[in-house]
């Protein structure tokens, strides 16, 4: 979706790893297995989440190499790992902060696709200022009782478990009284209400917690230490956005008990169309990104390539893709040498926002008036395709309508700039006393 994609095509990864993976796939991939059976094999082999440490069902690979592994699985024609927030966020968080018992309970079910996860962080009054959250968890024997409201919960309607952060000690300063829980979504105290977006989809939800219960054993990283644990989750979110995410190369099957895919035939989720799409995406990423490639083809096809301003913007889009690629290479080289490039994840995310906006504006200019038509449901699509004669229109309008989301989630553009200003450039923070004053005494929004 974005041109700030991993530069893995250009990166020489450890060929031995790829050889080992290919031979493992040759021996183990069987399209007639059920999705659950295949994910059990893939997840327990360490190839499903190779960026996780070995004691957490991974292989300890760098993120770029892990994305390469996922692409290899897709190229081989096998079903990829169970994509979603479990693999992307919950697993690395629990691998970092959980006990071995918690890793064996939660991470195992994530890498084998048995359970799907969502992230119960944002609240109506706590998004950018996440540490201002007010959902309360109160101890009751060996359980906690949770009350509050969350919002923007992606995949909340298909989740079995959630990463919940809740206030457990309001008498402490705001960053200190928060705890990170793994909470079971299948309980009477949790109500999930889908929110429909302008894309036509309902990706995210409002979630109401009314006397929801969670055992003390489900606390990850210790009570009142949730801010540190949440920062690991958020760091993985930003890193995932900057490098193409943890789900690259995955097939179309969804994890968890609600999607209903686990008992289906694994091979049915690896269609020739899906393979072709992935091949196109890879080809596009090599020349500045899949969206640039798509838009260049469209502009050539309908003659708008003759417009010099369109050509100029296509080159800008290609350039942004190349910059992302080289920045990824720079970061990889720095890490190999034991250094870091401070702020790179934030800058990559900002560049991704720019790329999305340019893709939106340029795409709509190229398709012209037909850009006002969008298939909000799958059954509207054939009529629009037939009327416009352009089977790629849905990709352009879909990208245009979705372009508003990525610059917001994982920290808005303004928040990324604040982080770069304060933590990378050393500029002074806004003065406030929220590090010292008890949360319960801080002034709240009316
Ligand atoms: C597609 C999508 C999926 C999401 N999925 C999830 C999910 O699964 N789970 C979850 O918990 N959350 C999710 N979110 C929520 C997301 O993390 C928040 O929307 C985001 O953190 C911003 O918070 P907010 O919406 O409350 O905006 P606010 O924080 O109210 O910000 C409003 C505006 O004020 C600006 N602003 C705020 N504070 C500052 C400041 N200090 N300096 C400068 N400008 C500032 C912001 O940049 C923004 O422009 C998702 C969001 C989107 C768009």
How many angstroms separate the alpha carbon of residue 408 from the centre of ligand 1?
5
Residue nearest (by alpha carbon) to ligand 1 atom 29: 128
- Is the CB of residue 13 below 6 angstroms from any atom belonging to ligand 1? no
Closest C-alpha among 118, 60, 87, 114 to residue 246: 87
pLDDT of residue 444: 75
Regarding pTM above 0.85, the answer is yes
Residues 7, 320: Cα–Cα separation, whole Å: 13
Q: Separation of 412 CA from ligand 1 center, angstroms? A: 6
The C-alpha atoms of residue 348 and residue 351 are separated, in whole angstroms, by 5
Tens of pLDDT along the chain (446 residues) come to 333 333 344 344 568 889 999 999 999 999 999 999 999 999 999 999 999 999 999 999 987 788 889 989 999 999 999 999 999 999 999 999 999 999 999 999 999 999 999 999 999 999 999 999 999 999 999 999 999 999 999 999 999 999 999 999 999 999 999 999 999 999 999 999 999 999 888 889 999 999 999 999 999 999 999 999 999 999 888 777 654 433 433 458 999 999 999 999 999 999 654 444 444 443 333 334 578 889 999 999 999 999 999 999 999 999 999 998 898 889 888 988 999 899 988 898 899 999 999 999 999 999 999 999 998 888 888 999 898 888 889 889 999 999 999 899 889 999 999 999 999 999 998 888 888 899 999 887 64
Total number of residues shown for the chain: 446
Residue 254 Cβ < 6 Å to ligand 1: no
Establish whether residue 122 lines the binding site of ligand 1, counting it when its CB lies within 6 angstroms of any ligand atom: yes
Q: 218 is written with which tokens?
A: 């489900």
SS3 percent helix, strand, coil of the chain, rounded to 5, is 50, 15, 35
Q: What is the pLDDT of residue 445?
A: 65
Expressed in angstroms and rounded, the spacing between residue 242 Cα and the centre of ligand 1 is 17
422 lines ligand 1 (CB under 6 A): no
**Any ligand 1 atom below 6 A from CB of 405:** yes
| Residue 117 β-bridge partners | 161
Q: Is 158 in the pocket of ligand 1 (CB under 6 A)?
A: no
- pLDDT recorded at residue 28: 98
Best residue for ligand 1 mutational test, from 1, 205, 412 (most atoms within 8 Å of Cβ): 412
Of the residues 132, 152, 404, which should be mutated to test ligand 1's pocket, given the most ligand atoms within 8 Å of the CB? 152
CA proximity to 440, closest of 210, 10, 132: 132
Q: Given the DSSP bridges, would you call strands 204-215 and 143-150 parallel, antiparallel or unpaired?
A: antiparallel
Pocket test for ligand 1, best of 93, 119, 126, 128 (most atoms within 8 A of CB): 128
Is residue 127 in contact with ligand 1, taking CB distance under 6 Å?
yes
Separation of CA 167 and ligand 1 centre (Å):
19
60: phi then psi, degrees, rounded to nearest 5 = 65, 25
The secondary structure of 192-253, three-state, reads: EEEECCCCCCCCEEEEEEEEEEEEHHHECCCCCCHHHHHHHHHHHHHHHHHHCCCCCCCCCC
Evaluate: CB of 233 within 6 angstroms of ligand 1.
no
Q: Does ligand 1 come within 6 angstroms of the Cβ of 415? A: yes
State which of 149, 408, 419 you would mutate to test the pocket of ligand 1, scoring each by most atoms of that ligand within 8 A of its C-beta. 408
- Ligand 1 mean position to 126 CA, how many Å? 8
Contact 233, 86 (CB under 8 A): no
Whole-number Å distance, alpha carbon 409 to ligand 1 midpoint, is 6
């Amino acid at each position: 979706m974005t041109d700030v994609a991993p530069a893995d095509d250009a990166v020489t990864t450890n060929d031995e790893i790829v050889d080992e993976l290919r031979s493992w796939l040759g021996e183990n991939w069987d399209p007639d297995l059920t999705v659950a059976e295949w994910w059990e094999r893939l997840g327990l082999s360490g190839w499903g989440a190779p960026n996780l440490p070995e004691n957490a069902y991974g292989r300890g690979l760098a993120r770029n190499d892990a994305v390469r592994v996922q692409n290899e699985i897709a190229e081989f024609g096998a079903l990829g790992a169970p994509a979603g927030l479990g693999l992307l966020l919950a697993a690395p968080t629990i691998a970092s902060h959980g006990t071995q018992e918690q890793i064996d309970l939660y991470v195992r079910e994530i890498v084998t696709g048995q359970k799907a996860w969502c992230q119960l962080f944002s609240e109506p009054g706590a998004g950018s200022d996440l540490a201002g959250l007010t959902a309360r968890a109160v101890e009751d024997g060996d359980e906690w009782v949770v009350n509050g409201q969350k919002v923007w919960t992606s995949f909340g309607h298909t989740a079995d478990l959630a990463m919940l952060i809740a206030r457990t000690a309001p008498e402490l300063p705001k960053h200190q009284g928060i705890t990170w829980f793994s909470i079971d979504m299948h309980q009477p105290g949790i109500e999930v209400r889908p929110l429909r977006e302008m894309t036509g989809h309902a990706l995210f939800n409002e979630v109401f917690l009314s006397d929801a219960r969670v055992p003390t054993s489900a606390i990850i990283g210790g009570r009142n230490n949730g801010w540190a644990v949440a920062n690991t989750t958020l760091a993985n979110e930003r890193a995932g956005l900057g490098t193409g995410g943890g789900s690259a190369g995955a097939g179309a099957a969804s994890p968890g008990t609600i999607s209903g895919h686990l008992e289906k035939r694994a091979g049915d989720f690896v269609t020739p169309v899906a393979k072709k799409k992935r091949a196109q995406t890879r080809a596009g990423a090599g020349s500045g990104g899949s969206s640039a490639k798509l838009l260049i083809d469209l502009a050539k096809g309908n003659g708008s390539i003759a417009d010099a301003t369109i050509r100029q913007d296509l080159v800008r889009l290609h350039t942004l893709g190349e910059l992302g690629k080289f920045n990824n290479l720079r970061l990889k080289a720095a890490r190999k040498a034991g250094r870091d490039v401070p702020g790179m994840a934030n800058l990559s995310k900002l560049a991704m926002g720019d790329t999305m906006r340019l893709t939106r504006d340029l795409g709509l200019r190229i398709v012209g008036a037909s850009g006002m038509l969008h298939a909000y449901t799958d059954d509207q699509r054939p009529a629009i395709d037939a009327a416009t004669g352009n089977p790629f229109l849905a990709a352009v309008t879909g990208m245009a309508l979705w372009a508003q989301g990525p610059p917001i989630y994982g920290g808005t553009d303004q928040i990324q700039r604040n982080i770069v200003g304060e933590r990378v450039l050393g500029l002074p923070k806004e003065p406030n006393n929220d590090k010292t004053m008890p949360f319960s005494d801080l002034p709240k929004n009316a």
